[in-house]
Chains A and B, each alone.
Chain A
Amino acid sequence: MTDPLQTDPDGQALVAPPDDDPPSDFTYYAFAQSKNREPARLSAPSAFSTMPDVLAGRYCIERLLGAGGMGAVYRARDLLAQQYGDPDPYVALKVLNEDFAESPDASAVLYSEFCLTRYLRHDNVLRVHGFHVDTACERAFITMELMRGLTLDQLLCERPLGLPWQELRQIVLPLLDALAYAHGCGVIHGDVKPSNVMLSENGVRLFDFGLGRAEEGVLPGLPHLSRERFNAWTPGYAAPELLEYGQLSASADIYAVACVIYELASGKHPFRHLPSTQARDEHLHVGLQAPARLPKRCWPALRTALAFDTGDRAITAGQMRDAFTGSSSWPWYRKIRPSW
């Protein structure tokens, strides 16, 4: 175990390139310095102790942005972009955790995430820059646009009573639009939840397709994440069929996004953050109330999207969006009016 005091005596190792002779592939960028050095001194993350301060001779790791069971995302400074005077040389950089990175197909899983995200060109889907391998430390990583703003779980902490419709619609409509687009392209997200949606200064962004999947015939040849060997989810947002059978379809994304929307509207998760299977067995669907601040026209669509049974969850992301904008043809039977 490295002692950060030995590796980091002046507290700067985390925010600046090492002072000693740079390796040969680092020469071009050795003069690049951080414009805004952080005064803070943080202990070095030990789990990533095998990860160098600069990846692939180009990306200087600056700060941990988020971490989960599989990977960690850092803010990194692109030293090459900075060398050429790029006014905003920062990127988000995702690497797999050390434990997970050792599994044989880990890099393929990361590549799949990169490829799925790149395939989607939509204003409300995060943009990926590239897939890279640091050959020295044998770690694959993705670089992405660095978003500045709040993830929806942060927003929910700041707004525990939920959002009024005027604000809600500005998040929900782009989010549903992004999801409808992805599904239209044959891409399933697989892990929609508040922390995977960012309200950034450039608008809403859906991100983290790490558990995503392309439907049959889309992106043929791309390694698929085998749900038999690798089954993961977020308990409060995973549909029952995903929890029980590992079945991932667009319909599972619908359940998840409906939980997110309900929570944004009311401040409360529809089923107390319980796994959907437990919520179903406790019949929590029966007492579900429409969020008070949600326009009445949205509720039938949202309630349908929250159905535990895939057969009852008969609505698409596009139909939800239309129901929320008020331009809905869904549900069709409401259009049938008595002729008198």
Chain B
Amino acid sequence: MAVVGHWRSAARTHAGKVRERNEDAFLECPEQGLWVVADGMGGHQGGDIASQMIVASLAELPLHGNFDDRLIGIRRCLHWLNRRLGQELTVNAGRQDSIIGSTVVALLMEENRAACVWAGDSRCYLWRGQRLYQLSRDHSLQQQLIDERQMNARQARAHPGGHALTRAVGAAEQLTLEVLELEVFAGDAFLLCSDGLYQGLSSDALGHALSLALPAMALKRLFDDALRGAARDNLTAVVIRG
């Protein structure tokens, strides 16, 4: 577990019980106030390449500059990766399904400022005042059905292809990132995770885990709970606590 200043964090990824490959990746950088989860697009060749490129590139971003500069740096880096994965990859004639992409959710923190940047269905949760808030809104067909056709979550989940992403790094020529800035309070806990983790767990289970005092304990609880289930997908979580 990493401890820096007043931020402690813990991170883990697991292939799950079914998949042979782990296409998730994380970055845990408490010294830089930066944490990332990326989930390579399943079914496509090289999903792990995409998620690994994201965490490796974000890890190399310059440390100098103020919060706003660094936030711009993260966004610029993700736009570049979108181009690199979408337009610059060499395609083998035998493999036409050559879309390589990944979700991303990144959390940047400095003193009492935080910014969450995301594309896709990897999520950022905030545990504050004994309540769980989902800070990121999924870029998925499911979420689109809820927003645009007023379906409830259960109906949307039953929709065939509801898991399909509407945004991801590398998926389309233009990437639109979503950014949420917020003020951080003492006692806040954050969770970044891939869908493989949150899909097997109720909000109550997420909340209970995040209420634990240490990130490592929260992480253990999350994985113990998730791995008791089917764990069909890769699962990744990063817990950050003040």
Residues of A within 8 A of B (CB): 1, 3-5, 11, 38-43, 45-47, 63-70, 72, 97, 99, 153-154, 156-158, 191, 193-195, 210-211, 230-236, 246, 273
- Contact partner, B90, options A38, A72, A153, A234, Cβ 8 Å: A234
Which residues of B in the span 71-106 have a Cβ within 8 Å of any Cβ on A?
76, 79-80, 83-84, 87-95, 98, 100
Are A42 and B56 in contact, with the CB atoms below 8 A?
A: yes
Are B46 and A69 in contact, with the CB atoms below 8 A?
A: yes
Known contacts: A67-B46, A154-B80, A158-B76. The answer to whether A233 contacts B29 by CB under 8 A is: no
Nearest A-chain residue to B28, judged by Cβ = A41
Known contacts: A153-B80, A231-B93, A273-B87. The answer to whether A46 contacts B15 by CB under 8 A is: yes
Are A40 and B28 in contact, with the CB atoms below 8 A?
A: yes
Known contacts: A63-B59, A158-B76. The answer to whether A45 contacts B52 by CB under 8 A is: yes
A169 to B109, CA, bound (A): 41
B side interface size, CB within 8 A: 48
CB distance from B153 to the nearest CB of A (A): 29
CB distance from B84 to the nearest CB of A (A): 6
Residues of B within 8 A of A158 (CB): 76
Nearest A-chain residue to B9, judged by Cβ = A41
A193 to B90, CA, bound (A): 10
- Could you mark each residue 95-137 of chain B with 1 if its beta carbon is under 8 Å from any beta carbon of chain A, else 0? 1001010000000000000000000000000000000000000
Residues of B within 8 A of A211 (CB): 90
Q: Does B140 make an interface contact (CB < 8 A)?
A: no
A236 to B83, CA, bound (A): 12
Known contacts: A41-B2, A67-B52. The answer to whether A157 contacts B79 by CB under 8 A is: yes
Known contacts: A39-B32, A41-B2, A69-B45. The answer to whether A235 contacts B84 by CB under 8 A is: no
Residues of B within 8 A of A156 (CB): 83
Are A64 and B90 in contact, with the CB atoms below 8 A?
A: no
A45 to B26, CA, bound (A): 10
Known contacts: A46-B15, A46-B22, A232-B90. The answer to whether A40 contacts B48 by CB under 8 A is: no
Nearest B-chain residue to A72, judged by Cβ = B49
- Contact partner, A46, options B21, B87, B90, Cβ 8 Å: B21
Known contacts: A1-B20, A43-B13. The answer to whether A63 contacts B26 by CB under 8 A is: no
Residues of B within 8 A of A4 (CB): 12-13
Q: Could you show 28 A-B contacts with beta carbons less than 8 Å apart? A: A1-B20, A3-B15, A40-B27, A41-B29, A42-B25, A42-B27, A43-B11, A43-B22, A43-B24, A47-B46, A63-B56, A67-B53, A68-B89, A69-B45, A69-B91, A69-B98, A72-B49, A153-B80, A157-B83, A193-B88, A195-B84, A195-B88, A231-B94, A232-B92, A233-B90, A233-B91, A234-B87, A234-B90
Residues of A within 8 A of B236 (CB): 43
A68 to B53, CA, bound (A): 10
- Contact partner, A40, options B14, B49, B59, B92, Cβ 8 Å: B59
Are A194 and B91 in contact, with the CB atoms below 8 A?
A: no
A4 to B25, CA, bound (A): 10
Nearest A-chain residue to B63, judged by Cβ = A39
CB distance from B193 to the nearest CB of A (A): 13
A11 to B3, CA, bound (A): 13
